[in-house]
Amino acid sequence: MDAPALAVTGSTGWLGGLVARDLAADGIRQRLLVRDPDRAPALDGADVRRCAYGDDDEAVRALEGVRTLFMVSAAEHPDRLGQHLGFVRAAARAGVGHVVYVSFYGAAPDATFTLARDHAATEAALRASGMAWTFLRDNLYLEFFGQLRGEDGAIRGPAGDGRVAAVSHPDIAAAAGAVLRGPAAHAGETYSLTGPEALTLAEVADVVAEVQGLETTYVAETVEEAYASRAVYGAPDWQVDAWVSTYTAIAAGELAGVTDDVERLTGRPPLSLREVLSRG
């Protein structure tokens, strides 16, 4: 039997796992690229290969015969960009024709959110690679907002009155699946995936309080307060910068725009924060 023409990274995580299961349910054959084959989901028509970001030669071997690659971004790491760039080179060496890359909303070299800069550099590498590409630029995750409330009932961060058009996990996965079922029609396209509304964090707190039945308020920190409140976790500087800049990107208005890209790709409107939290 011929090798699957589609490869999916990240199938042991939430996004790659949702996409891989959805494709398998439709009888679509795929190659699952995973660091630990023992953790790969058992799916009909799936060919499992060991493949880790950071091992370019292994990636070339794992990608041989693949025409379309679904590239979920690597786990946060101080050299995540280097891992991405090596993986893009490996895909080109292996003869991959089209990469569908999971990027970030508003990815740009000067983005306020620090990790969005790495996504911009990865996009640039894909544009220069000679492979066809499609970018799925996810906004923040709606599920994230259900976890922000502290023990004191406060959601804290330096987001000011800025708005964020966060999107749900199921909507991102459904949009990705739609692209992967017919990638040629989406070559050269960039989709900005958002929810149906742009909310301030004060409005987020109101929805959390309503749905979860817990008193919840938003406390607008200064940037200095945000760094101080997160210092207790002992995380490296680059990671704290990423955490804090999530909020300052909201304050700067860089995550506020609502698009219809989810509905255009999936044929249905995206889920709202209230709907996501109600699902539990």
pLDDT of residue 43: 96
The answer to whether position 248 is within a domain reads no
Domain count along the chain: 1
Domain of residue 55, CATH code? 3.40.50.720
The answer to whether position 133 is within a domain reads yes
Q: What's the CA angle centered on 241, arms 238 and 247, to 5 degrees?
A: 150
For residue 280, name the pLDDT band (cuts at 50, 70, 90): confident
The answer to whether position 72 is within a domain reads yes
Separation between Cα atoms, residue 196 and residue 251, nearest integer Å: 19
Separation between Cα atoms, residue 114 and residue 249, nearest integer Å: 9
The answer to whether position 132 is within a domain reads yes
- Domain ranges, residue 76: 6-140+167-193+257-266
The answer to whether position 20 is within a domain reads yes
The answer to whether position 234 is within a domain reads no
Element (H, E) at 245: helix 237-251
Residues comprising the chain, all counted: 280
Separation between Cα atoms, residue 272 and residue 278, nearest integer Å: 10
The answer to whether position 225 is within a domain reads no
For 201-211, what is the mean pLDDT?
97
pLDDT digits 0-9 by tens, 78-127: 999 999 999 999 999 999 999 999 999 999 999 999 999 999 999 999 99
Q: Which residues of 92-109 are buried (b: 16+ CB within 10 A; e: fewer)?
A: bebebbbbbbbbbbbbee
The answer to whether position 124 is within a domain reads yes
